Structure 1
Amino acid sequence: MLRLANGAACILQAAELIGDGHREHLQRIAGSGALLVLTSSRLEALGHALPSEFCGASLPAHNLDHTGIGHLAIDPPVSGLIGASATLVGERRGSLADYATRLLRIAKLLPAVLLARLPSRDADKLQRICDEHNIMLIQNRDIDSYMTAAAQSLRVAARAKVPLRVAPDAEVAVFRAELGGDEHFAVIVGDIHGSEPPLVRLHSQCVTGDVLGSLKCDCGEQLEGALEMMAEAGSGVLVYLAQEGRDIGLLNKMRAYALQDSGLDTIDANHALGFEMDERYFLPACRILGEAWRQQGAADHQQSGQDRAA
């Protein structure tokens, strides 16, 4: 269940996880008809461009089974799927529909959602519905604050010397958010507190390029080249951010690749899936750089003290 500060609430489920009977179950709990919410990017790919004041739109889903939902929300977009007579209601930023798709983005799910609005705004009644049906209640303020709070709560969970082929004097520090979420890491090369400023690179995770050597990108070459430059310079920090596919996740990246195979470019493929051109958020990198600098400085100070004591 998602609830706004004004009391408006809905029951929701990711469109890509809808199965037989799920829509009916959603409607029974909420006591209202289900709506399918699609982002403006997805709707444009389906041939329905929205005015700029809308972030998406909803349409009645009471006559849609999970196959029909899949055609509209998940499958490669085909113009004409939404008829001219269909009732499309524009959804503004800050609406239940907007927060629902933002929540799915955090979960690395396609930003297409089936939701049913609850007629009551009574907090106690809404909580009873959650308790009765074992449903999690999420407030819109939780979505507003999550990305920033998670980034600010990043801490070094483990660190170790990891000699690399191109940078033998390297250390890896893994960062975990106390609030949960993605794990990131930093490769620290040499002494970053030396006389010269260290080189810095922010590198977004790319399993296909970094690990598999995909010919679709040069991410692996950029990664290795950056580490080589840091080793030659004597110091550097490479922040490796868990942002696969510009932060749409590996599964959705493969969906985008499939659309690229049919002729779309990277940006259009992301839009066709309902995402923005770039979903990345770089506050985690700021936090990691600050912590890497502080942690190595503290370690150097401790080692210096031990040497003097010896």
Structure 2
Amino acid sequence: MTDPRPLPTAPAAPALTAPLTAVDRASAEVRRGGLVVVTGDDGETACLVLAAEAVTPTALQAVRLLAGVEPAVAVTARRARLLDLAAEQTEVAVIASDHPLTAETLRALAEPGAGVVEHGLTAEPRALATPAGAAVQLMKVARLLPAAVIAPVPAVGEAEAAAWAAGHDLPRVAAADVVAYEETAARTLALVGDARVPLEGAENARILAFRPADGGTEHLAILIGEPDPGQPVLARLHSECFTGDLLGSLRCDCGDQLRGAIEAIGKAGAGVLLYLAQEGRGIGLVNKLRAYTLQDEGYDTVDANRQLGFDDDERIYAPAAEMLRRLGFGSVRLMTNNPLKVEQLARHGITVTERVPHVFPSNPHNLRYLQAKATRSGHLF
């Protein structure tokens, strides 16, 4: 196989790298149960943020002492509606109480089945670009439940908020940078590895690894044969699935789709499979396992995600479009049963000339899952 088309390897501009690094640091901090400060776009608002799933009585008391007020919890509007606490069509809801909330109650607001939510709660709508909205989005970036304990910081203006955060040795991140994180990260993808890897069903294959500027998880491109960049390339976008791809789980069809795509592209002679770091439709492995537990209780795959506070599908396709462009491909014949992938690639500037069906037999363990994808998510089988 000849080398793929030249790929830019220059580092991303500091204007992009700095915001990504700030979000990455804040994400790491909330994952380990720490506190961060999120500032608003207008520089006039800021809040102290703690992951709701990590809240303990000790951590809650730390928030109270630092902020000097009783904290609230920000959740997705979808989650708030499931709790009968918000009827408005908004993006985020901030739930507060007329009396101090316990750590147990805060976790119950975030976790389905974590206990009975007490009375006396009220919910106020918030936009995604506000500190409260960005706090919820930060939890998604961190692959945690999309709920955050929040409290306004005793500061006004961006400079004061920055000084307050620095004085308490807390990471600070701008709400706008959190909201734009996924799209910004996609724009900074750089080729960091490229090797020939013969595969079963496609011996003439290379694996290319693309890493965002903040050092986040790599997306992979499996280039099979020598696709002609002047023609629509046979392509598959495959979101990673630890349980299906590696363990052979029968709860989904991911493993069959992965191996089947490699074999089909190999038989066709040329094409590309993009292996995207978006486990569980973008909610992460731990949240996917939580969704599985809810499915065992009777929810289908769509409603299980909604119970956790997520959208039906949290994946984004900017990384896929960027990788295709870096490889020299502007149009594809897309192997998928999901019309959303066709729409999203088009939105990101990649022409889909044909949707190639990619269907495999069901089994007793994934039949309900596949039926839900067809009837609830519009997949075509």
Band the TM-score falls in, shorter-chain normalisation: 0.7 to 0.9
TM-aligned CA deviation for residue 41 of structure 1? 1.8
TM-score computed with the length of structure 2 as normaliser: 0.72
Determine the structure 2 residue equivalent to 1:5: 41
Show the counterpart of 1:57: 94
| Alpha-carbon shift at residue 145 of structure 1 (Å) | 2.8
Structure 1 residues 163-172 or 126-135, which shifts more?
126-135
TM-score (norm 1): 0.88
**Sequence identity (%):** 37
Aligned-partner SS, 2:250: coil
Give the secondary structure class of the aligned counterpart of 1:210. Answer: helix
Query: Aligned match of 1:142 in 168, 171, 177?
Result: 177
* Aligned Cα root-mean-square deviation (Å): 2.0
Is 2:202 the counterpart of 1:167? yes
**CA–CA separation in structure 1 for the residues paired with 2:102 and 2:243:** 34
Q: Which has the larger radius of gyration?
A: 1
Question: What is the aligned length?
Answer: 292
Where does structure 1 differ by over 6 angstroms across 4 or more consecutive aligned residues?
Answer: none
Q: Does 1:245 align with 2:280?
A: yes
- The residue number in structure 1 matching 2:337 is none
Distance in 2 of aligned mates of 1:184 and 1:93: 26
How many angstroms apart in 1 are the aligned matches of 2:157 and 2:45?
Answer: 9
Taking structure 1 as reference, are residues 36 and 144 closer, same or farther at Cα in structure 2, changes over 3 Å only? closer
- What SS does the aligned partner of 1:238 have? strand
How has the CA–CA distance of structure 1 residues 178 and 86 changed in structure 2, closer, same or farther, with 3 Å as cutoff?
Answer: closer
Q: What is the match of residue 69 of structure 1?
A: 106
Equivalent residue number for residue 268 of structure 1: 303
2: CA distance between counterparts of 1:40 and 1:15?
A: 15
Letter in 2 for 1:160: A
Secondary structure of 2:327's aligned partner: helix
Secondary structure at 1:214 match in 2: coil
Contact 1:39 1:274 in 2 (8 A): yes
Is there any run of 5+ residues in structure 1 with no aligned partner, and where?
Answer: 295-310
After superposition, give the CA deviation of every residue in 1:189-239 in whole Å (9 maximum; x if it has no partner): 000127864310101111111111111111111111111111111101000
Aligned residues of 2:71 and 2:149 also touching (Cα < 8 A): yes
Gaps of 5+ in 2: 1-36, 330-381
Q: Please give the secondary structure, in 1, of the residue aligned with 2:139.
A: helix
Establish whether residue 180 from structure 1 lines up as the match of residue 215 from structure 2: yes
Q: Give the 5 Å matches for 1:210-225.
A: 210-225=245-260
Give yes or no for contact 1:246–1:278 (8 Å, CA) kept in 2.
yes
Which one-letter code corresponds to 1:129 in the other structure? Answer: W
2:168 to 133, 136, 143: 133
**1:57 offset after TM fit, Å?**
3.1
Does residue 289 of structure 2 align to residue 254 of structure 1?
Answer: yes
